[in-house]
Chain A
């Protein structure tokens, strides 16, 4: 039982990271109707921002805060300067843009910070609570829960949040009631990038920082987003947490799976959801006329 609790909690903590990344994917999907493959690389870049801050001798909190702000601004500008111009373009145009962005960010990180694996400090320190869960994992859970709660309050209780939900529900009516749709779409990209930054900074102390750091995170996060239904923010959170827990328990109890086969598990979940229930747990079923 103790083993179960231990792996469950550890899965929940990792699931919180997946939930953040899944949510950042869903936010952009709702805004532009495409899955941003480069979401993970954007989060890794954010983590390097924080890393650079630490190298320059900034206190941890300042480096993290700086990374969040930079990521927010970067996401905002990415929409305004690049994705605005191809809005409404075909699926393939977007796919090519995302792959391009992926490669560009990935190689730039290698160029600037080289490809070596770097250790990244945890703001929560070393140590365990009752041999069940590490300080860092407790911190991860607390921060992701706090971020998700803050975001949910933002969407439910503020006028900007309401306007953003209005755009997702009906873009044309949003224009008609006077919402500046273009500005708020960019704002959504900013928030999404900042959320990715939180995920990157929290996972880096565990998996260590290198330009490919998020590859192991983005696939389970996509699985979480798909499981939740791609259009539902709540679904993304539930999906991300579920994937984290499933992954951790299977790794612990099923022989031979271990850590190496975690990615195939996530892939298998993506395939199963798409085959059995494409709209996921909470997603809107979208019918297209042909």
Chain B
């Protein structure tokens, strides 16, 4: 209850192409849900619509808020933070400044400073790279920076767009371990878009499969994992 995210018949069109054709999903407070599907299915568009970057129609409520009529900055302030596709690094700024920007919507006080230190505890490598230009960090480090930056706004719901994209297996494992511990200690809900289904299924409570702009399948992660046919046809693993 309370801070559930309820997506009801959400549509997005770019010009003539109808990318999202009325998807409906629910994400309960505290849950980790993954949205799977092939390239071009509309996964990124879904997250962009939820964070206000892309105009969407239909109805999306978060708690009592009507998200589709809100600007990105208002959605962020309501507690939803996106880790965007491609990491969205402020490349010319330092790692530290990237984190400061993550918390820029908040009051500058001790809590903000503490959160900064907390991020460095989750991601020690970021503290080592504190003064370096963020564009010079490795892909894995930039992904960690993107997660940390999103967490600096103290979100209650974290949206992650393909966090494993382009990373080495060892780094991916490390990243998901950190996400797990963040979930355990902070109780943040997460909606994770992934192509790497096998990986995210170990972490998620439930999953939706998106194909050509429509939800074609949903269930608990356990059900989905045990269903060989589903894995083969939709997830290719």
Contact = CB atoms under 8 A, between A and B. Distances in A.
Interface of A: 159, 162-163, 165-166, 168-170, 172-180, 284
B101 A163 contact: yes
B30 to A, nearest CB: 23
Nearest to B108: A159
Given A176-B81, A177-B104, A178-B104, A166 B90 contact: yes
A163 B108 CA distance: 13
Contacts of A174: 90, 101
B53 A175 contact: yes
B217 to A, nearest CB: 29
B105 interface: yes
14 contacts: A162-B100, A162-B104, A165-B90, A166-B93, A170-B88, A172-B88, A173-B84, A173-B89, A173-B90, A173-B101, A176-B88, A177-B105, A178-B76, A180-B73
Contact of A178 (B89, B105, B108): B105
A178 B93 contact: no
A63 to B, nearest CB: 36
B149 interface: yes
B53 A176 contact: yes
Interface of B: 51-53, 72-73, 76-77, 81-82, 84, 88-93, 97, 100-102, 104-105, 108, 149-150, 152-153
A169 B88 contact: no
B88 A179 contact: no
Prevailing SS type, chain A contact patch: helix
A176 B84 contact: yes
Contacts, number: 71
B72 A166 contact: no
Given A173-B89, A176-B51, 19 more contacts: A159-B100, A162-B104, A165-B92, A165-B97, A170-B88, A170-B89, A170-B90, A172-B84, A174-B90, A175-B52, A175-B53, A176-B72, A176-B84, A176-B150, A177-B104, A177-B152, A178-B76, A178-B104, A178-B153
Given A169-B93, A176-B72, A284-B92, A163 B53 contact: no
Contact of B104 (A163, A170, A172): A163
A162 B97 contact: yes
A7 B205 CA distance: 74
Contacts of A168: 92
B84 A166 contact: no
B97 A173 contact: no
B77 A178 contact: yes
A177 B72 CA distance: 8
Q: Which 5 A-B pairs have the closest CB atoms?
A: A178-B105, A173-B88, A178-B76, A169-B90, A175-B72
Contacts of B77: 178
A166 to B, nearest CB: 5
Contacts of A175: 52-53, 72-73
A51 B31 CA distance: 65
A184 B127 CA distance: 29
A280 to B, nearest CB: 16
Contacts of B150: 176
Contacts of B152: 177
A176 B104 contact: no
Nearest to B83: A176
B14 to A, nearest CB: 15
A153 B152 CA distance: 24
Contacts of A165: 90, 92-93, 97
Contacts of B104: 159, 162-163, 166, 177-179
- Determine which residue in A162, A169, A176, A284 has the highest number of CB atoms from chain B within 10 A of its CB, and name it: A176
B100 to A, nearest CB: 6
Contacts of A172: 53, 84, 88
A112 B77 CA distance: 48
Nearest to B105: A178
Contacts of A180: 73
A177 B145 CA distance: 13
B89 A177 contact: no
A110 B142 CA distance: 55
A166 B149 CA distance: 13
Nearest to A183: B73
Contacts of B105: 177-179
Contacts of A162: 97, 100-101, 104
Contacts of A177: 76, 101-102, 104-105, 149, 152-153
